[in-house]
Amino acid sequence: MNGWLRRRVRFLKATSEQGPDVRRVSVELQRSNEAGVVGKAEQPSSDTDLSRAGAEAAAEAIVQTSGMSDAQVKVEDIEHVNLFGKDIVVVSVTATYKGQTVSLFGVCQVQEDPATAGALAVLSATNRVLELS
């Protein structure tokens, strides 16, 4: 994929650990040439909830990387769909950045785990509009 612009905020990793009733997810993102930031979220243990936890953790980390006190990213909804025989996560987020609020959609195929797919779907949506790409 030579010739593509490198994203200024990139996904480093998602980790999850199982608690008695919830799963805790941490998502680490990195802005160009800066230290990584970690967002965290908790959800019950189903795959959809794990995707949501990954998405919410990514949203928190994106706000941290923005460096703006008024930035907000909120996960509105998340769905698992099967499209063309592939498990896909589709996320709807509302993002406020520099005084403007927009509704965004992101998509990611589930390959590694649902938490990673949820995080990458949020990053897919926000990197295009929040001047982070």
pLDDT tens string 90-117: 999 999 877 889 999 999 999 978 999 9
Residue 132, pLDDT > 80, answer: no
Q: For 30-89, how does the pLDDT look when each residue is reduced to its tens digit (9 = 90+)? A: 887 788 899 999 887 666 688 999 999 999 999 988 877 788 999 999 999 999 999 999
Residue 10, pLDDT > 90, answer: no
Distance of CA 80 to the CA centre of its chain: 15
Count up the domains in the chain and report the number. 1
What pLDDT does residue 48 have?
Answer: 65
What pLDDT does residue 4 have?
Answer: 38
Q: What distance, in Å, lies between the first and last C-alpha atoms of the chain?
A: 16
What pLDDT does residue 46 have?
Answer: 66
Answer for the pair 89, 98: CB distance below 8 angstroms, yes or no. Answer: no
What pLDDT does residue 109 have?
Answer: 96
Do the domain assignments include residue 97? yes
Do the domain assignments include residue 121? yes
Do the domain assignments include residue 28? yes
| CATH number for 118 | 3.30.160.270
| CA dist., res. 129 & res. 95, Å (int) | 9
Residue 7, pLDDT > 60, answer: no
DSSP class of residue 33 equals T
Across the beta sheet with 100-109, the strand order is 72-83, 86-97, 100-109
Cα-trace Rg, the chain = 14
Q: Which residue range(s) make up the domain with 94? A: 9-127
Q: Which residue has the higher pLDDT, 32 or 122?
A: 122
Residue 91's identity, in one-letter code, is V
Sign of dihedral through CA atoms 104, 111, 55, 128?
Answer: negative
Do the domain assignments include residue 132? no
Mean pLDDT of 127-132: 65
What pLDDT does residue 110 have?
Answer: 95
Environment class of residue 88 by beta-carbon count within 10 Å: exposed (0-12), middle (13-18) or buried (19+)? middle
